[in-house]
Amino acid sequence: MPSSAVAHYSDPDQYAMSIRGCDTTVLVKDRGPFSAALTKIDLDRLWMQQGKTSASVLERCVASPVRVIVFFLTESSKAPVYRSGMLLEPDEITFSPPRAEYYNHSAAGYGWSALSLTPQDLADTARALVGHEVVPPPVTLKICPPAALMARLRHLHAAAVQLALTVPDVLAKPPVTSLLEHELVRTMAGCLTSVPDNYKVTRRTTRLPVMQRFEDILAANPVKPLFVLDVCAKIGISDRTLRMHCFEHLGMSPHRYLWLRRMNQAKRALSLADPQRTTVTQIAIDHGFWELGRFSVGYRRLFGEPPSVTLRNSAPT
């Protein structure tokens, strides 16, 4: 049954868990505090989302094994936005296949919109609407649709979000949702098929296999602090090679990424700890920060408050 939901978040983990269609991890990477908004609309076959973050973040996403995703920027960003190592302009979309892995990052908060369908629904609908199937690409692609189609896609997506914000009950009425879904999927299919050479021109060689091994090592060591030389040894590559891969996909060095990851894990631990039984020093050391003064300064710069305040405001569960 069609439905919609609108929510606001001050916790990046809660925001990440709420995003539909992919398994997302969000790391705050610049001055906080973090805040985000997310609007979700489920039609009969089409899932729609619109999100916005206030702070600079790095997002790692692993797409659903059963859905394809079309993604675009909702508005012009204050800073460049990169997706899967590609600079994304406001007049472009990305098309990701099931199980795609990619990173999003920007030096400032940004707004985004997304639509997703099962590959079969997209193929069937596209065949009926535009005369031929749309097949998921092997990797995430960047596509620049004709301006009129891109404007139409933006308009329809924004109109649906506005209904969710102001009169959500309307989105539960079958005549409205059927027409809206038909127009959205038709326009989306047009964007994906409007340029015959899109797949050939925009496909790029990625360095994802190394990044996937990198993330596998991190996932296998969720608590243990990891350092660049350890990771390079486990993957079997040089520091220089790992740096090249990380700058392409993350926009930062592996050292910075590991530091951010440990900082965000420390914040999560402080937020969940019992202040009567845990200290900042314990949590800092547990996450590989032995220079406590530098930890406190870096934490405050990153999250907008001292670690002691995070701990004091935590609520034991």
pLDDT in tens, 137-180: 888 899 999 999 999 999 999 999 999 999 988 888 877 788 89
Helix (H) or strand (E) holding 176: helix 174-193
Would you identify the CATH topology of the domain 208-312? Arc Repressor Mutant, subunit A (1.10.10)
User: Is CATH 2.60.120.10 the classification given to domain 3-202?
Assistant: yes
Closest by CA position to 97, among listed 124, 62, 129, 73: 62
Q: Which residues of the chain fall short of a pLDDT of 50?
A: 199-206, 317
Distance between first and last Cα of the chain: 34
Helix (H) or strand (E) holding 231: helix 228-235
| Amino acid 192: pLDDT | 87
Helices (H) and strands (E) in the chain, counts: 12, 12
Place of tokens 């047009």: 190
| Amino acid 76: pLDDT | 76
Assess contact for 91 and 57: CB atoms under 8 A: no
| Amino acid 143: pLDDT | 92
Closest by CA position to 69, among listed 7, 25, 109, 113: 113
User: What is the pTM (predicted TM-score) of this model?
Assistant: 0.85
For residue range 60-83, list pLDDT tens digits in order. Answer: 999 999 999 999 999 777 889 999
Q: What beta strand segments (E) does 31-158 contain?
A: 36-42, 47-53, 57-63, 68-73, 81-83, 86-88, 93-96, 101-106, 111-117, 141-143
Residue extents of the structural domains in the chain? 3-202, 208-312
| Amino acid 288: pLDDT | 86
Closest by CA position to 264, among listed 7, 3, 32, 19: 32
| Amino acid 299: pLDDT | 94
Structure tokens at 275: 């202040």
